[in-house]
Amino acid sequence: MSISASISDSKAVDLEQQATISPHEQIGLPYVPRNFANPAPLGLLSFATSIFMISLLELEPRGVKVPNIIVPNMVFFGGAAQVIAGIMEFIAGNTLGATLFSSYAAFNLAYALIFLPGSGILAAYTDSETGALMPEFDQAIAMFIWAWFIMSVIFTVASVRSSWTLLAALVFVDFTLILLAVGHMLGEESCLKAGSATGLVTAALAYWAGTAGLWGDGTTPFNLPVGSLKKD
């Protein structure tokens, strides 16, 4: 081996060592070799938090009836965070995760937009004389939810080879959306409350699936079962 080649190899090793983060430089964090992180926990936990807040506010806890408090969460965590998760799933080659997270990110952003005054959506369905929402608003919301119910059914079928936890979460999303759509369309308060209840179950299942991905693979001593449905 020539002296110049040896020097070149030595410089390459030095550059690689400089570019690699030492475990001692990550104080308070576990050292992980450089690779792509699993985006599924981020997508699932942001999805769970969004549907948890929507379902909880439908039940009017502690007398809270104005839903605008969910807008920041829907825009940043349920929206932006899920967009990032969806993009990372595209890079990882996971078509289901990429489509699922990107789509629900769009749903959350669209839902939040309804309550932003600048969008003019609520104003379009508000009686200019009384300031009250017109009955047409509930029918419009029902149409919005029906469209997403169709999308949710498509996602549910696509998840039959993923895991029991994710499949169950999407099945409960279907129940939630159809109950909310019927409730708004017919003005049935009982359907809306039932939809909120199934939404909380959905959130619990999504929290479980996201936590299982975050805690697993040796990151913590805890491994939550999700029930894989993949073929052997």
Q: Tens digits of per-residue pLDDT, 1-22? A: 554 444 455 544 454 444 444 4
Is 11 among the domain residues?
no
User: Domain range spanning residue 200?
Assistant: 37-215
What is the count of structural domains for the chain?
1
Own/partner pairs, 164-171, CB within 8 angstroms, 24+ separation: 164/226, 164/227, 164/228, 164/229, 165/205, 165/208, 165/209, 165/212, 165/226, 165/227, 166/44, 166/205, 166/209, 166/226, 167/229, 168/205, 169/202, 169/205, 169/206, 169/209
In which band, very low, low, confident or very high, does the pLDDT at 115 lie, cut at 50, 70 and 90? confident
Is 135 among the domain residues?
yes
Is 112 among the domain residues?
yes
Is 2 among the domain residues?
no
Is 168 among the domain residues?
yes
- Has residue 37 got a pLDDT over 50? yes
| Residue pLDDT, tens place only, 177-209 | 999 999 999 999 999 999 999 999 999 999 999
Is 27 among the domain residues?
no
Name the pTM for this structure.
0.81
Is 210 among the domain residues?
yes
Is 3 among the domain residues?
no
| Mean pLDDT within 145-158 | 96
| Mean pLDDT within 46-57 | 93
